[in-house]
Structures are given as C-alpha cells and as structure tokens.
Amino acid sequence: MTDTPKNKSLGRKTIRPTFTPRELMTDTPDLAGSWTAQILTLFPQAFPGVLGESLTGKALQDGRWQMQTYDLREYGIGKHRNVDDTPAGGGAGMVLRADVLEAAITEARAGSKGVMPLVYLSPRGKRLDQKMAQRFAQCDGIILLCGRFEGVDERVIEEYNIEEVSLGDFILTGGEIAAQALIDATVRLIPRVLGNQASVEEESFSNGLLEHPQYTKPAVWNDRAIPEVLLSGHHANIRNWQRDQAERLTKQRRPDLWRAYCATHNRDPEEDTKL
C-alpha cells in the first residue's frame, strides 16, 4: 500500500452533452480557445446536469465552452482510496484530505490554459453576484473545488490561495449544485451563448438595478391589461417607463442595491422614485 495515488488520469473526464447517456463519461478532445470549467468533485456523474439542457447545453454541444470533471476518489489514498479523515482536535463529520486535493489540483492545473481562477464553493466565501460572474466569464475558464462533509483542510486553501465563493447564507450537502449555478451564471455571459446580447445587457443586475416587469400576449388577461405605454410604439417613453419601474422595484425590494446604485449615479437614495 502506498500514499501515492495511481492512475490519476482516470480522474479526468471531458463532458459534452449527447443523447446517449453513457457517452457523457467518455473522453473528447479539448476544444482550443473554449472557456473551460474544470470541476473537482466526488460526484462527477452529477455533471453536466441541468447545464446540458437549454441554451447552455447547446453552447456546450457547439463547443462555445467545455467541461472537465476530476473524480476526487481517483486520487484517494490506499486500497480503499480514502479522501477524508476525522477533524484534527475532534468534532463531528469528516474533512477532505490535503494530500488528496493536492493531487487533483495539480493535475487540473497541468491541463489548464490561460487565466483560470481556483475557486472553492464555501458558505463562508464572498457571495456570488453578477459582477463576479462577469469577471469569471472574461477569464479562460475556472477550476471549481466542490466540498463535502465538513469541508476541506484549511492548509489547501492557504497553499493555493483559493478564492472562496458562496451562493448565500445557507448550507448545501455539497458544492456540486453551487458549482452548476456559478457555471450557469458565467457561461451565459460568454458571447453567442444566449444568441441575443441585448438579453444580457437588459436583465437584472447588469446595470445595478432589478429588471423591470415583463409582459406578453394576450393584451388583457383576467381583467389585467398590459400597461398602455408598452403598446404605444413610442420607444423613448417605453425606455423611460422601464427605467422608472426598475428603480422603483430595486428601491422597494433591494435597498442594498439601490444605495449602491445611487452612490455611483450621485443620487439621494431617499428620493422618491416614479410609480
């Protein structure tokens, strides 16, 4: 028995969506220049998951981005490929071992290209927001470490200066769901993934405000009519209405965003917004 993981290359899988489920776990050639998500996880079968559907799935199939999973179990120690151990100093649960994570991170980095931040999905991390997703989208890709149990050995975070990112003030059983949310928020910002760049520019948070209300046919539904200004054809009035509604909603529902917006636009956050 040895502490050196064997057959490390078995841990890496490149994923592209297919109608044949078994093909999701076969290697495919790297796509030069594509934004790449490298995911270190105990559950590689969880990917691509919902990312293989809709526009992100089509973009994955078209090679606008790619995904590689690294099965942490393949870097485990000994005959049973142990990946965790009890917390030093006592306590409940298990902690992912530093030597196991080192092996996985080393191989992932060896296969990475360009600027690819190393991120650990953690409830104590900085909260994911649109600005962070935009920053990740401008990189060449990202390496995501999905935690489990009580987390990872702190020395790994310190050694690799890992950026910790959280979805919010709640706990998940592991980082896989959070990783998919982060990837989705990022990949949709890659040019030509959504197909309509205006959709990205007009949605919530892109300009610091929540999005204005949206309507479609029928013009009247359950005695509720679409606001007349949206049917007027007067584009300047429509834009003014949409901006006023976005400001009103942001002030009512997200005072924190409203204060930040006012600070960058030299406005008084207590001023009345148009109804």
Predicted pLDDT at 204: 54
Q: Classify residue 168 by its DSSP letter.
A: S
Predicted pLDDT at 32: 72
Nearest to 35 by CA among 187, 145, 222: 187
pLDDT in tens, 149-200: 899 999 999 999 999 999 999 999 999 999 999 999 999 999 889 875 555 5
The answer to whether the bond into 227 is cis (omega within 30° of 0) is: no
Per-residue pLDDT of the chain (275 residues; tens, 9 = 90+): 445 444 445 566 665 544 333 333 334 455 778 999 999 999 999 999 999 999 999 999 999 999 999 999 999 999 999 999 999 999 999 999 999 999 999 999 999 999 999 999 999 999 999 999 999 999 999 999 999 989 999 999 999 999 999 999 999 999 999 999 999 999 999 988 987 555 555 555 668 899 999 999 999 999 999 999 999 999 999 999 999 999 999 999 999 999 999 999 999 999 877 65
Predicted pLDDT at 1: 44
Residue 102 CB neighbours (<10 A)? 17
**CA 106 to chain CA mean position, Å:** 22
Q: Classify residue 77 by its DSSP letter.
A: B
Q: Which residues contact 163 (CB under 8 A, 6 or more apart)?
A: 117, 118, 119, 120, 125, 126
Nearest to 14 by CA among 141, 172, 190: 141
Q: Where are the domains of the chain?
A: 8-187, 205-264
* Sheet containing strand 141-146, strands side by side: 12-15, 65-71, 35-41, 141-146, 118-127, 163-166
Nearest to 20 by CA among 10, 28, 8, 32: 28
Residue type, 88: A
Q: State the chain's mean pLDDT as an integer.
A: 88
Q: Determine whether domain 8-187 maps to CATH 3.40.1280.10.
A: yes
List Cα–Cα distances, 251 to 201, 211, 267, in angstroms: 20, 12, 12
Helices (H), the chain: 54-61, 98-110, 130-137, 154-159, 176-187, 197-202, 235-253, 255-264
At the topology level, CATH places domain 205-264 in Trp Operon Repressor; Chain A (1.10.1270)
Nearest to 72 by CA among 49, 48, 53, 97: 97
